[in-house]
Structure 1
Amino acid sequence: MPRLVPVVILAVLFIGCSEKPLQRRAEQPSASFYTITPPAPLLYASTSSVPFFTGGQDTVEVPLTDTLSAASMPDTTITEEEKSLILLLETAREHYLQAMQAAAEGDSTASAVEFEEAIKHLNEASYYDDVESNADFNDLTRSVLEDYEKYIATIDSLGPQSSIFALREKINLEIEKVDITNIQIPASLLPKTDVPLTINEYSKRAIAFFMGKGRVHMENWIHRSGKYFPMMSRIFQEEGLPPELMLLSLPESGLNPTARSWAKAVGLWQFMKATGALYGLRSTYWYDERRDFEKATRAAARHMKDLYADLGDWHLVFVAYNAGPGWVRRAIRRTGSTDFWEMRHRLPRETRNYVPQYIAVALIFLRPEAFGFENVQKADSLAYEYVTVDDCVDLELLAECAGTDLATIRDLNPELTQWCTPPNYPGYQLRVPAGASLSFAENYARIPEEKKLDFATHTVRKGETVGAIAKRYGLQTAVIFEVNRMSRKTRLKVGSTLIIPVQSKSVAAIVEVQRKREQEERERALKRREQQRTLAAKSPARTRPQAAAYEPSGRVKLTYKVKKGETIGHIAEWFRVRASNIRNWNDIPYGRHIYAGQTLKIYVPEERAEEFRKIASMDFTQKQQMVRSSGKRSAAAPAERRDRTNWLQHSVKRGESLEKIAAKYDVAIADIRTWNKLKSSRINAGQTLEIYSAANGNGAAEREEAAATAKVRAGNDPTIVTHVVKKGETLGKIASKYSVTIADVRKWNKLNGSRIVVGQKLKIIRQRT
């Protein structure tokens, strides 16, 4: 029985300008409404199936008839958002497979390129609504990153296409092995700077790395500096900070405004979402201001200014910027010193190398001729003007209005993450090439009727949810919330009206356009795979099947027959392997389900093969009971070594990292990994971690602080000094002056934070000299 389709009302908004010559149109109301008939049935080219996404558990296929009406599709039909996400995951998996195959064949260049492509697609998927709770996304991301890290450790150097984060991993692995025999830095070579450029074995190793294996990356950074540094220098001076601090962006992001780290930090200055929000950087489905090169640079300058007011030392500011202020305070407490080089061994591995990296890139950048970089050409500086856009407008049409191309508009506005300017953002400041603002205004005023954006209005009916409405129109729930300015706690009222953005003249049209685009992408992916298989068949070096790279040494193959109701997730859990590996071993793309009776290859540790054969023979209930029992034993195992009362469980929250959790409980990252048998630092929201809590409460942290205080008070005749705070002084400077720690000064004066005011009297306890 055909379902009744409610009438959709469309609100017309501008979308841009493209017809040439443009015709001036009559004044129109800001929003005109008209009624359209229900969309026509969507015609599909074949009866093939499309993947149905089930929120990370597994996937099944929904067969499509030749004439399946958009109105008659059941609520369980896959949305455009879900299809797009599946396509991104499958494309990432294809690149991951090629990366592993190339690595197995010793092709380091191809492998690095394919790993980076896989990460690029996963980064794109990371902007999808609630993707952090998607098991497929999390499993594939963890697999790609862990295997890339392992691969980086096996190769000699990284190519220029490698990301800053891969390079950072390589530096951390290689830095201690670098030969510095021939690195001589005379004092006369050192420029006068506000940030001390200390020359020692650590900074020499970093210099040697960038002169050798890291040279191509340093050359790229010097080239890109021409584009961004004039803007950065101006902002740092406006904020009253040394312009040289802009050099920190080199090791931070490699001057890539869209860079996204493996820990989900974003932009030129690698802000985490929470830290960025503290400095006014907003992040939505439509835009991410952490990618805005001006706003992010100003936020970074203000963040560093705040850190310097607290710590009073630029090296410590860099440590805090990289790892958080908590690490600085703990290192000071543990070492009794405010000198970075004294506390270096108490910091995470990456942070230990962070200050030496800054010193190396600063020296090379400021004295390029001395290090053999004198002939590197710098890019042209950014030249742009701002124009105001009040409507949600397609970026391609805005580019035409500005007399340029889409790539230029995206390059000047990297904060825009979608195809248009954000809706409900009147007065959006868009950058256009310098000299284009006047012609842009003229063209924008002549937008033709056929270039308007349709907005549908939807009347909420009884029982409807935002999720159901979003699925109906093929949108993310985040879009519905954003466009209608609703919080996620908003309860829908029957009869209320929601605005639904539609990029073309009707819902059917935009779905059809999206379907064709995705079909073309699938065809390209299939063609690419066929080409690769053809090459494999012809080339002696590529005679193995694609999955050969996934036959790991030390493991044996088991054959497992799938039973009714089982999913890839279940099987991965039972055999303690990654779900992505099961897909790769058996060439199962995302969007394809497994079925009862299907035979799967599973690779298990050779010494445990018999154990897993017994597991394979169990029924579903027995296997699930085994998992539950194993989980309980696993969680309790670390506690068996010590009194159970000293242990607690931490549930990982969205956006948390091991660094943050370690800082919270004042423990080492390595310990958390050991206690929880983690192979890397990758964790997921909802994951439970065991934490040994002896370092909390009146434990190790307080004992170390007391020890630091006792160190100062040691001797038969301590001296109590009253210090009056002078203009420009910070706790860091005062602590350094008296050779005590910031923690001591806080403790002696019962200070909760680091804020002090001119004229304030502080008690300092020190040894008599």
Structure 2
Amino acid sequence: MSAQEDGGRKDAGHYPGLMGRINAFIRYFQNAGRSKFELYLTRSGKYADMMRGILARYGLPGDLIYLALIESGFSPKAYSVANAAGPWQFIAGTGRRYGLRIDWWADERRDYEKSTHAAASYLRDLYGMFESWPLAAAAYNAGEGKIQKAVARYKSDDYAELIRHRYLKQETKDYVPKMLAALTIAKEPEKYGFEGVKYEEPLEFDKVTVPGGTDLRALGLLIGVPYESLREWNPELRRFCTPPNQENYEIRLPIGYGKIAEEQMEEIREEAGVTFLLHSVKKGESLESLADRYHTTVPILQELNGLKGTRLRRSARLVIPVTGLSGEEAVPGKELSSEQVEAALKRFDDGGRRTRTVRVRKGDTLSRIAKRTGVPVDELAAANGLKTKGRLKVGRRLRLPGTAVQLAGNPVDSPRGGKKERKHVVRRGDTLSKIAKTYGVTPQQISERNNLREGQAPRRGRVLHIPLES
């Protein structure tokens, strides 16, 4: 019998040894846990069809989607105190083992498609190991090693028998009954008192491949999709841009906007690509003025430079993200190579190795701390097991998921080929001759470096590479 047939032919009634626990969880969901369960049912409409389709491609029963219900309530933003993330609640090690990217730029545990593929692959492996869905589900919760030891210790592969002993944690003993209770109600919600559930519409979206390092704000301006919407469609992206250390990255867009993006891909490549420059702070400059000048935001500058507040030290070096839509002259500094940026960021890759904390002050709220640190309220709450509007104890240290530290390093002389360069963002009134005169080069040199046709005027907002003499 296949894994799909084995799981697909069984419901709660096929596990008589678990019925007492299953019924207890059904009553819990009907009463104390009712509001959350109703929310999870509502949200299931958005993700269930997509998840079932992926599970079927791996030969797995569709009912396994209810693991995601009890793990996260189908929320891509779910983050546990045990550092598990996403709808399937992968810890970093297991996520990476099953092909998920987890670093400073992206956490694909939060990608509802990629994480479902990873979960399906993992569950298929677990079923192959135990040939029992209750044991496979228990291993998903406790780890395969723990369940293997339990089977060996008690010489039984019967989940109902194993949970009678003290070896497994209570969470694992409850895990399968809780899932089966959720499955039972979800299949017949009216029967269990959940009438009139308003399911969210199933996901529908376009996909398009954009270059690595595409600024989502600039992309949104070019194609007419709000930045917040782009972040919602692509919850795995942890920063304001696609990972710059990856040549191309596939993103989701609302239906109809994939075609618009494809038609504007040349403009996207020219104007939405992020370049990181090093800027030496001058007297009178502030994060607000720099953010305004380069069309970025204060939280992004804080994030890239590990800044808690907004005060700047004169001569401090800041990493500034610049796109073709920045609309100002280039930073009076040198372009950072992707290798330099990546080398620095690896030091604070937050895949469970380094996490900054913040101490709660008198009068602090999550909103105030979020504003101070640049970490969204919902991420702060999830990372610390708090309610978004809950009270905070003065002196408590809160984890700041995905925070950074000051980027060090010297500016590079050459982004390519060993030649020194500067960057210039074309402004109103600029001509090749005027730009060339400013930097002491010829118009032909600028045209050749930027692949401009003879006589072609650079478009306002475009970033030009200016070759300089060594």
Q: Shorter-chain TM-score category?
A: 0.5 to 0.7
Compare relative contact order (CA 8 Å, sep 6+) and give the higher one, 1 or 2: 1
Residue 214 of structure 2 corresponds to 393
Contact 2:68-2:87 at 8 Å conserved across structures? yes
Q: What SS does the corresponding residue of 1:222 show, helix, strand or coil?
A: helix
State which of 46, 66, 77 in structure 2 corresponds to 1:247.
66
C-alpha distance in 2 between matches for 1:244 and 1:309? 18
1:360 aligned partner, one-letter code: A
Residue 97 of structure 1 corresponds to none
Superposed, which structure 2 residues align to 1:180-199 within 5 Å? 193-194=9-10, 197=13, 198=15
Residue 127 of structure 2 corresponds to 308
Residue 414 of structure 1 corresponds to 235
Query: How far apart are 1:300 and its partner, in Å?
Result: 0.2
Query: How far apart are 1:379 and its partner, in Å?
Result: 0.2
C-alpha distance in 2 between matches for 1:254 and 1:210? 13
Residue 264 of structure 1 corresponds to 83
CA deviations over 1:524-548 (Å, ceiling 9, x no partner): 9xxxxxxxxxxxxxxxxxxxxx99x
Query: How far apart are 1:580 and its partner, in Å?
Result: 3.4
CA deviations over 1:344-387 (Å, ceiling 9, x no partner): 13310111111111011000001112101131010011111111
Q: What SS does the corresponding residue of 2:396 show, helix, strand or coil?
A: helix
Q: What SS does the corresponding residue of 2:178 show, helix, strand or coil?
A: helix
Unmatched tracts of structure 2, length 5 or more? 1-6, 280-303, 307-315, 321-335, 348-367, 375-390, 399-470
The answer on 1:202 being equivalent to 2:18 is: no
Aligned pairs, how many? 303
The answer on 1:214 being equivalent to 2:33 is: yes
State which of 296, 317, 329 in structure 1 corresponds to 2:148.
329
Contact 1:253-1:267 at 8 Å conserved across structures? yes
TM-score between the two structures when normalised by the length of structure 2: 0.58
C-alpha distance in 2 between matches for 1:234 and 1:299? 14
Query: How far apart are 1:444 and its partner, in Å?
Result: 4.2
C-alpha distance in 2 between matches for 1:322 and 1:239? 20
Query: How far apart are 1:397 and its partner, in Å?
Result: 2.4
| C-alpha spacing 1:481/1:423, structure 2 compared with 1 (3 Å) | closer
Superposed, which structure 2 residues align to 1:713-752 within 5 Å? none
TM-score between the two structures when normalised by the length of structure 1: 0.36
The answer on 1:370 being equivalent to 2:186 is: no
The answer on 1:384 being equivalent to 2:205 is: yes
C-alpha distance in 2 between matches for 1:308 and 1:297? 16
1:395 aligned partner, one-letter code: L
CA deviations over 1:227-264 (Å, ceiling 9, x no partner): 11111011011111111111110001111112111100
| C-alpha spacing 1:489/1:240, structure 2 compared with 1 (3 Å) | closer
Superposed, which structure 2 residues align to 1:166-181 within 5 Å? none
Residue 266 of structure 2 corresponds to 445
Q: What SS does the corresponding residue of 2:153 show, helix, strand or coil?
A: helix
Unmatched tracts of structure 1, length 5 or more? 1-190, 459-468, 491-517, 525-545, 551-578, 584-769
| C-alpha spacing 1:480/1:327, structure 2 compared with 1 (3 Å) | farther
C-alpha distance in 1 between matches for 2:346 and 2:210? 30
Query: How far apart are 1:442 and its partner, in Å?
Result: 2.9
Contact 1:206-1:356 at 8 Å conserved across structures? yes
C-alpha distance in 2 between matches for 1:450 and 1:238? 39
Contact 2:206-2:257 at 8 Å conserved across structures? yes
Superposed, which structure 2 residues align to 1:565-580 within 5 Å? 580=396
1:387 aligned partner, one-letter code: V
1:406 aligned partner, one-letter code: Y
The answer on 1:349 being equivalent to 2:162 is: no
CA deviations over 1:609-645 (Å, ceiling 9, x no partner): xxxxxxxxxxxxxxxxxxxxxxxxxxxxxxxxxxxxx
Residue 181 of structure 2 corresponds to 360
C-alpha distance in 1 between matches for 2:340 and 2:103? 11
Superposed, which structure 2 residues align to 1:130-145 within 5 Å? none
Query: How far apart are 1:271 and its partner, in Å?
Result: 0.7
Contact 1:402-1:432 at 8 Å conserved across structures? no
Q: What SS does the corresponding residue of 1:387 show, helix, strand or coil?
A: strand
C-alpha distance in 2 between matches for 1:258 and 1:362? 22
| C-alpha spacing 1:482/1:288, structure 2 compared with 1 (3 Å) | farther
Query: How far apart are 1:313 and its partner, in Å?
Result: 0.5
Residue 320 of structure 1 corresponds to 139
1:235 aligned partner, one-letter code: I
Query: How far apart are 1:331 and its partner, in Å?
Result: 1.8
C-alpha distance in 1 between matches for 2:26 and 2:346? 52
State which of 25, 38, 42 in structure 2 corresponds to 1:223.
42
C-alpha distance in 2 between matches for 1:402 and 1:373? 41
CA deviations over 1:97-153 (Å, ceiling 9, x no partner): xxxxxxxxxxxxxxxxxxxxxxxxxxxxxxxxxxxxxxxxxxxxxxxxxxxxxxxxx
Q: What SS does the corresponding residue of 2:119 show, helix, strand or coil?
A: helix
Larger fraction in helix: 1
Q: In terms of Rg, which structure is larger?
A: 1
2:67 aligned partner, one-letter code: L
Contact 1:364-1:371 at 8 Å conserved across structures? yes
1:265 aligned partner, one-letter code: A
Residue 249 of structure 2 corresponds to 428
CA deviations over 1:677-718 (Å, ceiling 9, x no partner): xxxxxxxxxxxxxxxxxxxxxxxxxxxxxxxxxxxxxxxxxx
Query: How far apart are 1:407 and its partner, in Å?
Result: 2.4
1:426 aligned partner, one-letter code: E
Residue 161 of structure 1 corresponds to none
C-alpha distance in 1 between matches for 2:152 and 2:209? 51
Contact 1:423-1:483 at 8 Å conserved across structures? no
C-alpha distance in 2 between matches for 1:275 and 1:404? 34
C-alpha distance in 2 between matches for 1:278 and 1:520? 32
1:202 aligned partner, one-letter code: R
Residue 292 of structure 1 corresponds to 111
C-alpha distance in 1 between matches for 2:370 and 2:81? 30
CA deviations over 1:292-336 (Å, ceiling 9, x no partner): 111100000010000000001000011100011122122223322
CA RMSD after TM alignment: 3.6
Query: How far apart are 1:400 and its partner, in Å?
Result: 3.1
C-alpha distance in 1 between matches for 2:346 and 2:48? 43
Q: What SS does the corresponding residue of 2:213 show, helix, strand or coil?
A: coil
Contact 1:403-1:440 at 8 Å conserved across structures? no
Q: What SS does the corresponding residue of 2:113 show, helix, strand or coil?
A: helix
C-alpha distance in 1 between matches for 2:125 and 2:84? 20
